[in-house]
Amino acid sequence: MSDTLSRYKKLDYQLPKENLAWQMREAGVENFGNDGVDTLPLLKPGADEILLRVDAIGICFSDVKLITQGSSHPRITGRDLVKEPVIGGHEVSLTVVEAGDNHKDKYKPGDRFMVQADIYYKGVSVAFGYVLPGGMQQFVMVGNEVLNGDEGSYLISVKPETGYAEAALVEPWTCVVASYRIKPRKTLEPGGVMLIAQVEGGNWELGEGLCADGKPGKIILAGVGEGLKSQICGCGCCSTEVIEIGKLQPEHVKALSQERTGDKGFNDVVVLGTPSPELAEALSACLGHEAVMAVLADKSIARPLQIDVGRVHYDYIDYIGAKSNKVSDAYSKSRDSNLVPGGTAWFIGAAGPMGQMHVQRAAKLKDGPKKILCTDVDNARLNYLKAGVADSAKENGVEIVFLNPMEAGLDAQNKAIDQMTGGKGFDDIVVLAPVAALITGAVPHLADGGLMNIFAGVPRGTIATIDLSVINMKGARFVGSSGSRPQDMIDTLAYTEAGELPTRDSMAAVGGIDAMADGVKAVKAAKFPGKTVIFPHIELPLTALTDLDKVLPNVYAKLKDGTFWTPEAEEELLKSKLEII
């Protein structure tokens, strides 16, 4: 290790008096960077603050969405960007420079950290890189929101030997890991509002265990017969408010939600019998955050439904069902979100930066799927993905097919699906492209008990035409997730530092502080097949790793197979480009 790099890691150099930062003052990626990088004073931390050095930052498509939407973005709605600019960026690797008096015992100069960006302080979301200043700068100051948040400290400790880029890329990998940890709610929402809409006669039963975690605060019975009503009154929920109404018509659902939930939406909706398409759509539109909608029926709904798939992703809406006449069957039999061991999986939009992480993870799992279909419309990205997962797939005996449906055609895609699944459909379908039509086209290929993970951040209000009957006729399930929690990041970092998750393999381009705006624009344009990482304390034009031979051949020589980032390449880069006094 060069003396310069060693001094940098030990903070054994003269800190600058200024902090270079990229601030967002108006919406639009095309406007980001027009004024260049800002020069801010480098401040000393107050008693409850810590000054951290930003060693590396990955640029996320969420950063692009923030910059594109500006003050209309839901995390900063109404913010005056001229008076209060945003410093974005949340995929960071940090080093403590100085801790204020109240934190000196816990945080020492040179300590390494990442940030769990989804921060809550006194019950309010104050996300790092959105509400709070993020990592698109050389140094960042954090205070009590980060250090004493609702879940404790949102700084996650990193081992000294972990690479800077490797640590920065743990955050997007954490979102991938967290998406397979979604646990279905097996009971009714305690204290929530439950709606039971009976649309067909029959001997309906509640079943056991629905109130194991607590009783609903309110149960609305719409057209429910005496048999089921007597079970509700005798199930120990007598302290729950029970409201009886007649048969529910589609045009009355919204008003009922407004009256009985304050327009927050129902927490649980149970439909007994096959609903009309219009009723099912109306009920779907009135589901609350983290709501469950269960359909119990042995016949399909008359037509596919218009479903807001953005809410599945961002609001964690869960659709479940069963052919049974027992409500508890729909809840209890709902499978978890792990990929089925030894099963079949289809990754749609597989070759984008996040898609590659999903496929890499699946190929490396010892108990993962044995057959994987990867589809994407970019051949270069597919080839990059293939190179990145070939060794893991071979080692674990995983059959992987890579296919461009735009080039090969849908008939070829459907043939590949039939060959891979034996006509039974996929156990898991993971949607990584925010395109409603892709979701619509994939639903018929779910197997019995199959799960569709709508991982792509399709905006709320994105309507897809979905045959929702797969939830009751096939026992299929739709899930989605946004972000992660601190424990997810801790676990993902542990996998990374143990060599089980190659986060650095996701990196495809590199730049210095001067390349931040170009990096944002490149991510929006999907210029590179993997992640873009900026090292804020060097100057370097935005460069694909595969083009480093033309710019820094000494760094290129340290890449794996001339393509993938390595700890040795990072050390060589910093030795070559760091300028400290």
Helical packing angle, 567-577 and 3-10, nearest 10° = 100
As beta bridge partners, residue 255 has none
Separation CA 27–CA 81 (nearest Å): 9
CA gyration radius, the chain: 26
Cβ atoms 350, 379 nearer than 8 A: no
Q: What is the pLDDT of residue 461?
A: 87
pLDDT value, residue 287: 96
pLDDT of 469? 96
Percentage above 90 pLDDT, the chain: 83
Averaged pLDDT, 97-118: 96
| CA atoms of 363 and 400, how far apart (whole Å) | 9
Q: Which of 59, 263, 293 is nearest to 185 (CA)?
A: 293
Give the residue-averaged pLDDT of 147-156: 96
Residues 6+ apart with CB under 8 A from 92: 54, 56, 57, 58, 114, 115, 134, 135, 140, 168, 171
Average pLDDT over residues 90-110: 97
Q: How many helices (H) and strands (E) does the chain have?
A: 21, 26
pLDDT band at 235 (very low <50, low <70, confident <90, very high): low
**Structure-block tokens of residue 142:** 């954090």
HEC-encoded secondary structure of 144-176:
HHHHCECCECCEEEECCCCCHHHHHCHHHHHHH
Q: For the ranges 44-53, 385-394, 541-550, which has the lowest average pLDDT?
A: 385-394
pLDDT of 239 > 80? The answer is no
CA distance 259 to 245: 13
Distance set, CA 533 to CA 413, 434, 481 (Å): 34, 23, 24
**Alpha helices for 180-291 (secondary structure H):** 226-233, 253-261, 277-284
Measured between alpha carbons, how far is residue 561 from residues 232, 384, 391 in Å? Answer: 65, 12, 13
Residues 196-225: tens digit of each pLDDT? 999 999 899 999 889 889 899 999 999 998
**Between these two residues, 457 and 165, which has the higher pLDDT value?**
165
Enumerate domains of the chain plus CATH numbers. 3-180+486-577 (3.90.180.10), 193-334 (3.40.50), 338-480 (3.40.50.720)
Tell me if 81 sits within 8 A of 130, measured CB to CB.
Answer: no
Q: Which two tokens stand for residue 485?
A: 């929690």
Percentages (nearest 5) of helix, strand, coil residues in the chain: 35, 25, 40
Flag whether pLDDT at 240 surpasses 80.
Answer: yes
Q: Are 481 and 179 in contact (CB under 8 A)?
A: yes
Q: Is the pLDDT of residue 290 over 70?
A: yes
Residue 434 confidence (pLDDT): 87
Which runs of consecutive H residues, i.e. helices, occur in 169-285? 170-179, 226-233, 253-261, 277-284
Q: What is the DSSP letter of 338?
A: S
Taking only the tens place, the pLDDT of each residue in 394-420 is: 999 999 999 999 999 999 999 999 999
- Number of residues that make up the chain: 581
309 - beta bridge partners? none
Query: Phi, psi (5° rounding) for residue 460?
Result: -55, 140
Spatial distance between the Cα atoms of 19 and 99, rounded to a whole number of angstroms: 17
Residues in a beta bridge with 534: 57, 511
Quick: pLDDT tens for 429-480. Answer: 999 998 999 999 999 999 999 999 999 878 888 899 999 999 999 999 998 8
Helix ranges, 208-349 (H): 226-233, 253-261, 277-284, 309-314, 327-332
Q: Residue 202's closest CA among 224, 176, 233?
A: 224
pLDDT in tens, 354-386: 999 999 999 999 899 999 999 999 999 999 999
Contact by Cβ (8 Å): 138, 86: no
Q: How far apart are CA 261 and CA 454, in angstroms?
A: 27
Q: Are strands 318-322 and 112-115 parallel, antiparallel or unpaired?
A: unpaired
- Cα distances from 154 to residues 62, 95, 120, 542, in angstroms, run 19, 14, 9, 30
Grade residue 238 by pLDDT with cuts at 50, 70 and 90. Answer: low
> How many whole angstroms separate alpha carbon 505 and alpha carbon 519?
18
Q: Is 75 helix (H, G, I), strand (E, B) or coil?
A: coil
Q: Where are the alpha helices (DSSP H) in 70-199?
A: 144-147, 164-168, 170-179
Residue 515 dihedral angles phi and psi, to the nearest 5°: -100, 5
